[in-house]
A and B are shown apart, each in its own frame.
Chain A
Amino acid sequence: MEDKKDGSKANIVMVTDGASIPDPREWRLINAWSIALLGAICTLCALCVIWPEPYLRILLYLPDGVLITFKITLMAICCAVPLGLITGLGRISRNRFINLLASTYVEVIRGIPLLVQIFYIYYALSRFVQVSGITSAVVAISFCYGAYMGEVFRAGISAIDKGQTEAARSLGFNRYQTMRLVILPQAMRTILPPVGNECIAMLKDTSLVSIMAVPDIMQRARSFVGTTYLYFETYTMVALLYLIITLLLSKAVSIMESRLNYYDAK
């Protein structure tokens, strides 16, 4: 019911809690992004060079955690993006049942904190199925972000001018062809920055899975702290590491975004 009134809001694709995507048209050398990245890298290097003990030791302790973090993020993206697309399409579907199903899913998931979902899937579902820590982390994060991305996809799709659908349908394309050939390729452009944002937020949220004994960056750090008690030093390195990763990813999203702008008037 909300969808019909949505017309006025349709052009707003909301910004989320991920790192902010740099504006692709921003080519000046000094901007927030470059300062943050340069600052983070310089601090990291300086710490490791000036005090190799303990900073270099910490840095060398973390890489396998970085791999796990990337692995979980990548797998979760592979599940969450299609899930988000399906949910978004479900939310705009005219089929009442599908629409209700998708909307309920979004409502339920959005109302439960990710940490609770992770715990729930890991411990509660283990009564029925045995899944490893990484699998349940991926499942929980995908389910959670699938719902958020569903909203992004819905907003992105409904932001496309109705005339596009009408033009395609008047040529004789059916609903599915219209969506695939005309609407989605255009929606991708509005959708990409917020989806990229969600993916970056997702990478950050993978730090929650350390509670399930999954050895990601955060768990590696905590394990290191558990033996050395170097709280400040270790979490400084962890923060810098996450920062550098998310800054690089947000740049990647921004580059992809500018590639999608090819058809604008120059």
Chain B
Amino acid sequence: MLRYLLSAVLSLTLLSDQALAAEKYVVASDCTWPPMELLNDEKQPVGFDIDFIRAVAKAAGFEVDVRNIAWDGIFGGVATGQYDIVASATTITEERKKQFDFSDPYYEVAQAVVLPAGKSISGLQDLKGLKVGGQIGTTGIFVMRKSGVDVDLKEYDDVGLSIQDMMNGRLDAVICDDPVALYYVNKKKDTAGKITIALVTQEKEYYGFTVKKGRKDLVEKLNMGIKKVRASGEEAQLLEKWMGKK
């Protein structure tokens, strides 16, 4: 009995190894960050990042299986090997680089402070003493912390919930990546027109694909794919599709 079980397990492992040999990588994406990644009506992950990683994969000659994974814990999964790549609007930071490897930067963002329509600030220091929300473990939260401005920082599981809370009056401001802020301010039906981007930070950040520390092979493939997609003009098409004309 045990022998059968063992052989079954063994053949399963071999099968999965073969799957790896066919170069199919699992990609994790937290689909709460429109327009970079979100779920469409059929509950499938879509967005700039999703299209981009697919284009990169095609160009570099591997396949991807994109899965929706909650942001809180998304890095833990890549560290323990549950998936190979995080393509989820991930800013390359020094802290993260200590734990993970990143592809070349593929998109430039800044942090945006979103306020209810009609309000304004001239700098982060104007938020002093206010309730500011953001998504837990995102660079918006880090920027707010590093700024040293004394705010009541609320960390949500999902940036959408923090926008919702600001609309309900529980928060004074939300900080997040500027493409996301733009999406809520301009595109999303129930928030568009009710909120405004009051400030965009000067300091730029760059998104990169995250892989487990030491996966040099994967980083090389990703970088190669990124270069090809750029050169072919496909990147420009995708940018226009998701961000509109600049």
Interface residues of A (CB under 8 A from B): 123, 126-127, 130, 132-133, 211, 213, 215, 219, 222-223, 225-229, 231
Q: Which residues of A contact B100 (CB under 8 A)?
A: 229
Residue contact A227 to B142, C-beta cutoff 8 Å = yes
Q: Which residues of B contact A219 (CB under 8 A)?
A: 136, 155
Interface residues of B (CB under 8 A from A): 72-73, 75-76, 79, 95-96, 99-100, 133, 136-138, 141-142, 154-157, 161-162, 164-165, 168-170
Residue contact A126 to B136, C-beta cutoff 8 Å = no
Q: Closest A residue to B171 by CB, please name it.
A: A213
The 3 closest A-B pairs by CB, nearest first: A226-B137, A213-B154, A231-B76
Q: Closest B residue to A223 by CB, please name it.
A: B155
- Give me 13 other A-B pairs in contact (C-beta within 8 A), A226-B138, A229-B100 excluded: A126-B168, A126-B170, A127-B168, A211-B156, A211-B157, A213-B154, A213-B165, A223-B137, A226-B72, A226-B155, A227-B95, A229-B95, A231-B76
Q: How far is the CB of B191 from chain A (nearest CB, A)?
A: 15
Q: How far is the CB of B53 from chain A (nearest CB, A)?
A: 21
A215 CB contact (under 8 Å) in B138, B155, B168: B155
Q: Which residues of A contact B161 (CB under 8 A)?
A: 123, 213
Known: A123-B164, A213-B162, A222-B136. A229 touches B96 (CB 8 A): yes
CA distance A228 to B145 in the complex (A): 14
Known: A213-B156, A223-B137, A226-B72. A231 touches B79 (CB 8 A): yes
Residue contact A227 to B168, C-beta cutoff 8 Å = no
CA distance A23 to B136 in the complex (A): 42
Instruction: Give 30 pairs: A residue, B residue, CB < 8 Å, sorted on A.
Output: A123-B164, A126-B165, A126-B168, A126-B170, A127-B168, A130-B168, A130-B170, A132-B170, A133-B154, A133-B170, A213-B154, A213-B155, A213-B156, A213-B165, A219-B136, A222-B155, A223-B137, A223-B141, A225-B137, A226-B72, A226-B136, A226-B138, A226-B141, A226-B155, A227-B95, A227-B142, A229-B76, A229-B100, A231-B73, A231-B79
CA distance A133 to B156 in the complex (A): 11
Q: Which residues of B contact A133 (CB under 8 A)?
A: 154, 170
CA distance A225 to B75 in the complex (A): 9
Residue contact A229 to B79, C-beta cutoff 8 Å = yes
Q: Which residues of A contact B133 (CB under 8 A)?
A: 213
Q: How far is the CB of A133 from chain B (nearest CB, A)?
A: 7
CA distance A219 to B136 in the complex (A): 9
Q: How far is the CB of A226 from chain B (nearest CB, A)?
A: 2
Q: How far is the CB of B209 from chain A (nearest CB, A)?
A: 16
Q: Which residues of B contact A123 (CB under 8 A)?
A: 161, 164
CA distance A130 to B172 in the complex (A): 14
Q: Closest A residue to B133 by CB, please name it.
A: A213
Q: Which residues of A contact B154 (CB under 8 A)?
A: 133, 213
Q: Which residues of A contact B162 (CB under 8 A)?
A: 213
CA distance A231 to B156 in the complex (A): 18
Q: Which residues of B contact A130 (CB under 8 A)?
A: 168-170
Q: Which residues of B contact A231 (CB under 8 A)?
A: 73, 75-76, 79
Q: Which residues of A contact B96 (CB under 8 A)?
A: 229
Q: Closest B residue to A126 by CB, please name it.
A: B168
CA distance A243 to B155 in the complex (A): 25
CA distance A227 to B97 in the complex (A): 11
Residue contact B170 to A222, C-beta cutoff 8 Å = no
CA distance A96 to B161 in the complex (A): 42
CA distance A130 to B136 in the complex (A): 23
